[in-house]
Structure 1
Amino acid sequence: MKKKILLAAAGLFSVVVLGACSGSSSQEIATMKGGKITVEDFYNEAKKEQTNQSLVRNMIIYKVFENAYGDKVTDKQVDKAYNEQKESLGDSFDTQLKSAGYTTKTFKEYLKQSLAFQEGLKAHVKVTDKDLKTAWESFHPEVTARIIQASSEDDAKAIKKQLDDKGDFAKIAKEKSQDSTTKADGGKIKFSSQSSSVPSEVKEAAFKLKNGEVSDVISTTDSSTYQTSYYIVKMEKTSSKGNDMDKYKKELKKIAEDTQMTDQTFTSEVIAKELKKANVKIKDDSFENILSDFLTTNSSSSAATNSSSSKKATSTSSTESSTEATDSSTASTDSSK
């Protein structure tokens, strides 16, 4: 279940920015009969590319969040995130790191920015009782199971036939599973409804099983690579959540927080607030619209608030005396300021 590392595109535009900012914009990149290409020429062309526009936007957002929340991220957290990425990718880690234009130092700097961004989102999260009840509906406590990941659907069906013929699940997992994380231990794994160690389709199938039961072949599709994988899961030790929600309040709060932090509307609103707080100004006209989505979100939110205040003032004026209506109007104006 290895996942491709999420590395920012650090290469092309970083070179351009460094060249432009170092005072060497007239430096020649190439010469030819009748002309030349300078760093400035390169910069002027590169900044028009949509990929680079997006990169600058991300650089601004990450910088804003790092400045505001970077002190909440420890070196220990950064090292943990780094080691998790390295362990997940195994032998391909160094190659992917290099191909993305990172060194160990710069990748850790990127991870710190990512963690600071998460801290910033978390600072705006407000979990209500309704959120906890929603999380409870799909919650399932931790179970112990075994999984086999097959290389193809045909292989998965052949393995399922072996299991149906009373084959030993752990032994077959050691021999044939493509999941390097669990293979050595006979496919053994623990997960709950909020775990990301197995695909959601596998979790759903597992939670329906009783102890000792084996699932049918389960197909899953990776949303980032569109690659289909095939699994078989055996339940070793399941448990019911029961009726006492308070028993799992800590887990439910984490689920509710994660749900908010992955909601696009919530994320955009938080980014808009932080950009406004940081007083971000775009100085290069080529990038004047890169934050428009977030600035619009913020403006729309303010407009909605002002509209609500206006309606409230109108309603008040129709039911109260003329003097009270005037006071209400004044208060509304002051609030708007």
Structure 2
Amino acid sequence: MKKKIVLATAGLLSVIVLGACSSGSNDEIATMKGGKLTVEDFYNEAKKEQTNQSLVRNMIIYDVFENAYGDKVTDKQVDSEYKKQEKQLGDSFESQLQAAGYTKKSYKDYLKQSLAFQEGLKSHVKLTDDDLKSAWDSFHPEVTARVILASSEEEAKDLKKQLDEGGDFAKLAKEKSQDSTTKEDGGKIKFDSQSTEVPAEVKEAAFKLKNDQTSDVISAMDSSSYQTNYYLVKMEKNTPKGNDMKKFDKEVKQIAQDMKLADQTFTSKVIGEELKKANVKIKDDSFENILADFLNTTEESTNQSSDKESEASTEKSTEASTEQSTEASQASTEESE
């Protein structure tokens, strides 16, 4: 269950081309009978490509967030994230950096921008009681278990039969598990509801187990290969969360924040607000619509807020008018009497 990370492509060729051509360069790329191809010609075509449109959009957003929140990101955080990526990718780290067009320095620059972007999003998070309740409902404390990743469904069923007949789970994990990160320790692993190294299907089944209980065969889709994997889990220590959310206040708030940051509507709204705050203006008509999705989201949110305020104002006005009408009617009745 080793986590796989694919480094984002830097798009260095596009950056170089777009940067070099921004001043209208007439440097020749190629000549031919009756004509020539200049860097500017290439630029005018390249900027129409969707990939480059997205690249420019992302560059603008990252620059805006780095300018606003970059001072909240320390070198220590960047180095820590760099080492984390290096550890997760192992021996392939350097080659993946090169394949993605990064140097050590440029990748650290990218990480700083990414962290600044996260800091900017977090600064807009305002957790409500409903947010915390949703987080609490999905939360499960850390458990200690043993896991076997079988080579096939048939093998998983055979292993399950052996376990039901008294087989030793740890011994079978060492002999048969395809999970290289846990098999040497007899499949032993710790995880909670937010752990990413364990498939959701495995976590869901595991949390239902009592101590020393073994699951049935669990099928789970591998998101990277789109193949179905088959697991067996034995629970060693399952700690119920109980009913007191305050005991896990820190964990629940972190989950609620993560859920908010994963909400595309929320992130789009924040990006739009930051773009407006930075007074971003698109000068090249070829890119005039690259930020429309974010800016429109902000406008819709503002309009919805205005509509609610207008509705509230109308309700108050109606209530006041009704009260005045009632009072006038009562006064008229009293005079008549």
Q: In the aligned structure 1, how far is the partner of 2:28 from the partner of 2:155?
A: 57
Query: Cα deviations across residues 51-109 of structure 1 (Å, max 9, x unaligned)?
Result: 22112111111111111111111222222222222222222222222111111111111
CA contact 1:145–1:234 (8 Å) conserved in 2: yes
Instruction: Out of 33-42 and 119-128, give the one that drifted further.
Output: 33-42
Q: In the aligned structure 2, how far is the partner of 1:302 from the partner of 1:83?
A: 41
AA partner of residue 239 (structure 1):
T
Alignment match, 1:13? 14
Q: How does 1:77-116 map to 2 (within 5 A)?
A: 77-116=77-116
AA partner of residue 131 (structure 2):
D
1:146 CA displacement: 1.5
Shift in alpha-carbon separation, 1:116–1:152, aligned structure 2, 3 A: farther
Q: How does 1:225-236 map to 2 (within 5 A)?
A: 225-236=225-236
Q: Report % sequence identity.
A: 69
Instruction: Out of 1-10 and 230-239, give the one that drifted further.
Output: 1-10
CA contact 1:138–1:193 (8 Å) conserved in 2: yes
Query: Cα deviations across residues 294-328 of structure 1 (Å, max 9, x unaligned)?
Result: 1101111121222233333434444548xxxxxxx
Alignment match, 1:166? 166
Instruction: Out of 154-163 and 111-120, give the one that drifted further.
Output: 154-163
Shift in alpha-carbon separation, 1:150–1:78, aligned structure 2, 3 A: farther
CA contact 2:218–2:231 (8 Å) conserved in 1: yes
Gaps of 5+ in 2: 322-337
Matched residue SS, 2:26: coil
Structure with the greater alpha carbon radius of gyration: 2
CA contact 1:140–1:241 (8 Å) conserved in 2: yes
Matched residue SS, 1:181: coil
1:165 CA displacement: 4.2
Q: In the aligned structure 2, how far is the partner of 1:260 from the partner of 1:161?
A: 43
CA contact 1:272–1:298 (8 Å) conserved in 2: yes
Instruction: Out of 240-249 and 76-85, give the one that drifted further.
Output: 76-85
1:24 CA displacement: 7.8
Shift in alpha-carbon separation, 1:272–1:205, aligned structure 2, 3 A: same
CA contact 2:7–2:97 (8 Å) conserved in 1: no
Q: How does 1:1-337 map to 2 (within 5 A)?
A: 1=1, 2-21=3-22, 25-223=25-223, 225-320=225-320
Query: Cα deviations across residues 147-182 of structure 1 (Å, max 9, x unaligned)?
Result: 222344344334434434433322332333332322
1:240 CA displacement: 1.1
Q: In the aligned structure 2, how far is the partner of 1:37 from the partner of 1:227?
A: 47
Matched residue SS, 1:195: coil
Instruction: Out of 243-252 and 209-218, give the one that drifted further.
Output: 209-218
1:192 CA displacement: 0.9
Shift in alpha-carbon separation, 1:250–1:165, aligned structure 2, 3 A: same
CA contact 1:5–1:85 (8 Å) conserved in 2: no
1:197 CA displacement: 2.2
Matched residue SS, 1:232: strand
Q: How many residues align?
A: 321
With structure 2 as the length reference, what TM-score do the two structures score?
Answer: 0.87
Query: Cα deviations across residues 220-272 of structure 1 (Å, max 9, x unaligned)?
Result: 22445534333222211111111221111111111111111101111111111
AA partner of residue 282 (structure 2):
I
CA contact 1:78–1:111 (8 Å) conserved in 2: yes
Instruction: Out of 84-93 and 65-74, give the one that drifted further.
Output: 84-93
Shift in alpha-carbon separation, 1:153–1:4, aligned structure 2, 3 A: farther
With structure 1 as the length reference, what TM-score do the two structures score?
Answer: 0.87
RMSD after superposition: 2.3
Q: In the aligned structure 2, how far is the partner of 1:270 from the partner of 1:290?
A: 16
